[in-house]
Amino acid sequence: MIPWLRNDHSFPRIDTALDEPNGLLAAGGDLNPARLLAAYRLGIFPWSSPGQPLLWWSPDPRMVLYVDEFRLRRSLAKVVRRNRFEIRVDTAFTQVMIGCATAPGRGLRSTWITSDMVGAYTELFRQGYAHSIEAWSEGRLAGGLYGVTIGRMFFGESMFTIVPDASKIAFVHLVGILRARGFPLVDCQQQTAHLATLGARPIARTAFAKEIASLVSAAAPNEPWRPVTAASVL
């Protein structure tokens, strides 16, 4: 059994999460900004399948990317050099979320991005806690990603692509932006083969919680999020 959340914004200790399914910690509550931010500060995120109550997770191990360990594969570097996409930041946040929910081939993992989720994270965006990295082609959104930022920590949420390589290029530019802003770590949540090819790796939940406790308390840069040049990410 897992606990049902109360009306306040407290969560159970993350070490009480289930082993199977891995990381299931609690159920219930809501998606108001205060609760979401409290969750991320502890290394917890919401994810539910259709027909389920709102579920909260903290898996062990946790897939992360240390920005200094990012590996730009030669084939992907060639795509970056072609400048096929215009990279924009925070110009179409809600559109990126909808793309993550509806792009072909997204499968079950995207079904948690309900209209309530879109509304909740769009509010975080309005408050400056969420950002989108967008790849545009011929004036149309070709792919992108979004995530939550607190202090100097970036919590990756989801990405999508319509034009081949668009989301990959957006991720490369995300790494460049994080380097420029002094963000050392990206939370990737779940282990995937694709993220592993870029240098992401699993770490123990206890180590992850210790790292983010420091990073979410760090002062964030004051300047707005901006794209970086292709040359700076190669």
For the chain, report the end-to-end CA distance as a whole number of angstroms: 48
The overall longest dimension of the chain from CA atoms, in Å, is 52
Question: Domains in the chain, start-ordered, CATH in brackets?
Answer: 14-59 (3.30.70.3550), 63-233 (3.40.630.70)
What is the distance between the alpha carbons of residues 189 and 202, in angstroms, rounded to a whole number? 9
Q: What is the pLDDT along the chain (234 residues), one digit of tens a residue?
A: 899 998 888 999 999 999 999 999 999 999 999 999 999 999 999 998 878 899 999 999 999 999 999 999 999 999 999 999 999 999 999 999 999 999 875 554 557 899 999 999 999 999 999 999 999 999 999 999 999 999 999 999 999 999 999 999 999 999 999 999 999 999 999 888 888 999 999 999 999 999 999 999 999 999 999 999 988 888
- Of 19, 9, 5, the residue nearest 41 (C-alpha): 9
